[in-house]
A and B are shown apart, each in its own frame.
Chain A
């Protein structure tokens, strides 16, 4: 099956700044694809070129086999876009907002009510958008992007300024959208978000894609050591060092930590000594991948 989205060596320069510097990737039909990177990495510009909001200086992008630039009326009804800010008409209620967007796509108002239901805003239908909380506004904005039932959905930092509760809430909605078979492309600077939601991620920095792959595969490829922690006082650090050869063991009085590339013997030994209270096993994360790729701490 041909790729839903193709980006081939796209480039965009603003003055001296190479915002996008040769980005290439494909997104398969129905895939949940993430573009991950710190602020200023070029994620939004990349997305805007693919959506058809900007013209690339060089390279080629297609969506559903069609070029998005110049503004392509054949493509527009098939893509749904949520921009970074909450792009709403002033002083309209949530329902009026959705109905207006629905009519721009020639979709009946009935569909607006369905979408309110999907994003869990039915009880806020009569509330003006200025009065919605950050999470509610973000969900409404998502509903506006989906009201015409597009095949491809672009989300630019959908959980940008949300509190943890609202983020998790939105993640559930995003999973549901993806489960309906749509292709979803999302940009984020949250590593955990990319890790839990995306089937594949492209890690970007300074306008370039550093690596692309499923999050788990990227992490595994790092061969990052596991960090096993249990409560202090069950076994001493010296005992653990003797029992688990080759592991690095520390004890700060609260937590006993065993760092090893081979977790099985360590876990077996801890179990044998009845020392599993407070057990946590942490592998590498996308943050470690980023550190490995750029040689610097990840700062969103």
Chain B
């Protein structure tokens, strides 16, 4: 066996036998994906809950028809006081009553969007009923056409976001902790005294980190594309593979820099956490950047994690072409090159 293969094997065994590393790089991100994916699954399809007090014939007709039936959830009640209270508490969106020819709708303006939707929906119900009663055809006809939906459903930003975070921390810790541990136990010096080349050692470490990142990618895709979570991969999703590879190199270089400064494993993992966790929040791993305030979007451009996460979102969920990932790839590789050069300057063989 040559040096590269045996070093790769040694590092691979070292990783799979390290329960902590397995839990942190694979299990915890997957748990986050499953939990957050399930929590946010329902959001994005708003329904109006309307309490019908007494008989409201207009509402009964409307809710049995076409599109309205999909957004209206009607419950019946005879107690007006209790129904109004439900609206005040936010448990129901509106209360509807019919008094002769008059439709009375009670709503709350605590949520202005819901309030507007309630008014619009009921106005249109009344208008349609009027037209039918008058028996004349509508002067204008509305034709709707659906455009391609470019906004992301929760699973479409959660999967790339959490995956980006998992890859970033896996690569940073992999490189940083390995460097500090090997310096502490003098393996670094011992390897220098063996005739194996430095390239073999470095390439073996990079190779193992890439394998781990690809396993993370595969596990995430396998879970997110189940019917339950319903992630639909777009045509160029395979571009996520080179993005993940370049992201891994980029974050390994961060780990290398951390490992060059830190003296102990504890210090290295604290510093790595201090870098990765805030970056995960600011770089769009946990919170989708489209919903983020302007300043946060601006900050995110300075963080390599942004390019990893958004790059994956673009090709996996937004349906962008393969070429769209190239700027992200270039930035990730550039970060890797700059930080590696910096690490070489501050690199130490020994603790003292």
| Chain A residue with the shortest CB-CB distance to B6 | A103
Per a CB cutoff under 8 Å, which of A79, A88, A109 touches B187?
A88
In Å, the complex CA distance between A87 and B349 comes to 13
In Å, the complex CA distance between A88 and B3 comes to 16
Which A residues touch B7, using CB under 8 A?
100, 104
| Least CB distance, B175 to chain A, in whole angstroms | 14
Contact across chains for A91 and B194 when beta carbons are under 8 A apart: no
B1-47 residues at the A interface, CB under 8 angstroms: 1-3, 5-7, 9-11, 13-14, 17-18
| Least CB distance, B198 to chain A, in whole angstroms | 9
Contact across chains for B193 and A52 when beta carbons are under 8 A apart: yes
| Least CB distance, A147 to chain B, in whole angstroms | 10
Interface size class for chain A?
A: 20 to 34
A53 with B189: in contact, given A103-B3, A104-B196 (CB under 8 Å)? yes
B169-185 residues at the A interface, CB under 8 angstroms: 181, 184-185
Contact across chains for A76 and B195 when beta carbons are under 8 A apart: yes
Which B residues touch A90, using CB under 8 A?
14, 18, 181
| Chain A residue with the shortest CB-CB distance to B15 | A91
Contact across chains for A100 and B185 when beta carbons are under 8 A apart: no
Interface size on B, residues (CB 8 A): 27
A106-149 residues at the B interface, CB under 8 angstroms: 106, 109, 128, 144
Contact across chains for A81 and B190 when beta carbons are under 8 A apart: yes
A240 interfacial by beta-carbon distance below 8 Å: no
In Å, the complex CA distance between A84 and B160 comes to 46
| Chain A residue with the shortest CB-CB distance to B17 | A91
| Least CB distance, B87 to chain A, in whole angstroms | 61
B192 interfacial by beta-carbon distance below 8 Å: yes
Contact across chains for B186 and A84 when beta carbons are under 8 A apart: yes
In Å, the complex CA distance between A77 and B195 comes to 6
Per a CB cutoff under 8 Å, which of B14, B189, B349 touches A91?
B14
In Å, the complex CA distance between A71 and B197 comes to 11
Contact across chains for B189 and A87 when beta carbons are under 8 A apart: yes
Which A residues touch B10, using CB under 8 A?
89, 92, 96, 100
| Chain A residue with the shortest CB-CB distance to B9 | A100
B191 interfacial by beta-carbon distance below 8 Å: yes
In Å, the complex CA distance between A119 and B201 comes to 27
Contact across chains for A81 and B193 when beta carbons are under 8 A apart: yes
Contact across chains for A76 and B193 when beta carbons are under 8 A apart: yes
Contact across chains for B195 and A104 when beta carbons are under 8 A apart: yes
In Å, the complex CA distance between A83 and B184 comes to 12
Chain A positions within 8 Å of B, measured between CB atoms, are 51-53, 71, 73, 76-77, 79, 81, 83-92, 96, 99-101, 103-106, 109, 128, 144
Chain B positions within 8 Å of A, measured between CB atoms, are 1-3, 5-7, 9-11, 13-14, 17-18, 181, 184-187, 189-196, 349
Kindly list 6 other residue pairs between chains A and B, CB separation below 8 angstroms, not including A91-B14, A106-B195: A87-B190, A91-B18, A96-B10, A100-B10, A103-B1, A103-B5
Q: List 7 A-B contacts (CB under 8 A).
A: A87-B189, A89-B14, A91-B13, A99-B1, A100-B6, A103-B1, A103-B2
